[in-house]
A and B are shown apart, each in its own frame.
Chain A
Amino acid sequence: MKTVITSTGNSTDSPFDLRFGRAAHYCILDADTNETTFIENEYANAQGGAGTKAAEKMVELGVKRVISGDFGPKAKELLERFKIQMVVLNGEDKTVQEIINTLKAN
């Protein structure tokens, strides 16, 4: 199963990004292989529709769960329709690696 964690940078040392549609990067954690890959969010600075586009990307990538600081209404609607779990995390002082560690510990 693939989980996405929103990230401010392109490595696991990067701080968590509290924004979903306008996150700088997405860290894709594959629970089956234990591998992480990072993709840049090409819509981070879009004038509008960033949330929708990010949600579209999640569906394309076959992600089942997204961890972010919050989700906007348009993104939420689309993610719900594709049954992608949204996890809201109040973790502005955490790094992506710390979140991965917590996930693994559970």
Chain B
Amino acid sequence: MPVKIAVASGKGGTGKTTVSVNLYHFIQKHWTESVQLLDCDVEEPNAGIFFPEAQEQYCKQVSQRVPTIDTDTCTFCRKCVEYCEFNAIVVIPPASFAEITPALCHSCGACLWACENGAITERPIPLGNIKMQNIGNNHSLLEGSLEIGSAMQTLLIKRLKKETNTNHDILLFDAPPGTSCPVVATIIDADYVILVSEPTPFGLNDLKLMVDLARELNKPFSVIINKAGLGDAHTHAFLEEENIELLGEIPFSRSFAEKYADGQLLQHIPEELEGHFTQIVENLKTKLS
């Protein structure tokens, strides 16, 4: 079974993708060649940008099953309404009205179970795409991209994870920003979580939320401070107070940020950063292998 490592942050723009892509690179160099990267930020996947030589292996459309109610068969008993945890079903008996709002439906199937009259059937609606890309030496990048207008990130993330190759030594999950359901869906099955923060008040505020989430889910975790040298010392003080391990620090570098903006993250790694990432991977290796 592969070791699953998730990279999350709370606040957006702290460097989840920078860290994920670099970890992917340095894990191969210093730990194992058998690693797969998953871009779980299905609303705006961007890890692929940093692999210009990537070759698409497949891209498939995935769908979500959404129920519909046949009002000729429906007895308007409202049992499906009671079963629906997401308030997606409206049944108004005096008006002989029964409808499902697809935008609220989570495709859980509870209404089908509830209906005793066979009035509910399912039909597929598009959920998004899953793309598998070869990024050299048989390493792969799996990327999910959600259908525009859909709010079912969690469903697509779960599907994305089903596409992983379980023969790999390591699966690396690049999480979406925030601390809500899509992030939970990303880190829920991870063996280890890396929280990427920046030493700013915003970074710290969201780091605290992520720490609460990781603790709630009983996940072992540590923190990488990105853009170190900017901001203030409050993040370090927080880690010390809470006895949270600092896995590593990546100093802020303008030239590195410029390379990132140019999509050249892995082509020009400054020597100084190479040292930092090597150290981080060595730390992880000791911890997880």
Residues of A within 8 A of B (CB): 43, 46-50, 52-53, 55-56, 59-60, 74, 78, 82
Other-chain contact of A78, B90, B94, B104 (Cβ < 8 Å): B90
The reply to whether B95 and A82 contact each other, CB–CB distance below 8 Å, is: yes
B104's nearest neighbour on chain A, judged by CB, is A49
Give the shortest distance, in Å, between B155 (CB) and chain A (any CB): 14
Residues of B within 8 A of A (CB): 86-88, 90-92, 94-95, 97, 101, 103-104
The reply to whether A49 and B97 contact each other, CB–CB distance below 8 Å, is: no
The reply to whether A47 and B86 contact each other, CB–CB distance below 8 Å, is: yes
A22 CA to B267 CA, complexed, in Å = 51
A49 CA to B103 CA, complexed, in Å = 9
- Hey, which chain B residues are within 8 Å of A56, CB to CB? 90-92
B93's nearest neighbour on chain A, judged by CB, is A60
B94's nearest neighbour on chain A, judged by CB, is A60
- Hey, which chain A residues are within 8 Å of B104, CB to CB? 48-49, 52, 74
A78 CA to B90 CA, complexed, in Å = 9
CB < 8 Å A-B pair total: 33
**A47-B86, A59-B92 known, 19 other contacts, Cβ within 8 Å:** A48-B86, A48-B87, A48-B104, A49-B87, A49-B104, A50-B87, A52-B87, A52-B88, A52-B90, A53-B87, A53-B90, A56-B91, A56-B92, A59-B97, A60-B92, A60-B94, A74-B104, A78-B90, A82-B95
Give the shortest distance, in Å, between B185 (CB) and chain A (any CB): 15
A60 CA to B103 CA, complexed, in Å = 23
A56 CA to B95 CA, complexed, in Å = 10
The reply to whether B94 and A49 contact each other, CB–CB distance below 8 Å, is: no
Give the shortest distance, in Å, between A43 (CB) and chain B (any CB): 7
A87 CA to B104 CA, complexed, in Å = 26
A46 CA to B81 CA, complexed, in Å = 14
Give the shortest distance, in Å, between A20 (CB) and chain B (any CB): 14
The reply to whether A49 and B86 contact each other, CB–CB distance below 8 Å, is: yes
A87 CA to B88 CA, complexed, in Å = 25
Give the shortest distance, in Å, between B216 (CB) and chain A (any CB): 17
- Hey, which chain A residues are within 8 Å of B103, CB to CB? 74
Q: 5 pairs across A/B with beta carbons < 8 Å? A: A48-B104, A49-B88, A59-B95, A74-B103, A82-B95
A50 CA to B92 CA, complexed, in Å = 16
Give the shortest distance, in Å, between A46 (CB) and chain B (any CB): 6
- Hey, which chain B residues are within 8 Å of A46, CB to CB? 87
B99's nearest neighbour on chain A, judged by CB, is A78
- Hey, which chain B residues are within 8 Å of A59, CB to CB? 92, 95, 97
- Hey, which chain A residues are within 8 Å of B92, CB to CB? 56, 59-60
A54 CA to B103 CA, complexed, in Å = 17
The reply to whether A52 and B101 contact each other, CB–CB distance below 8 Å, is: yes
A60 CA to B78 CA, complexed, in Å = 13
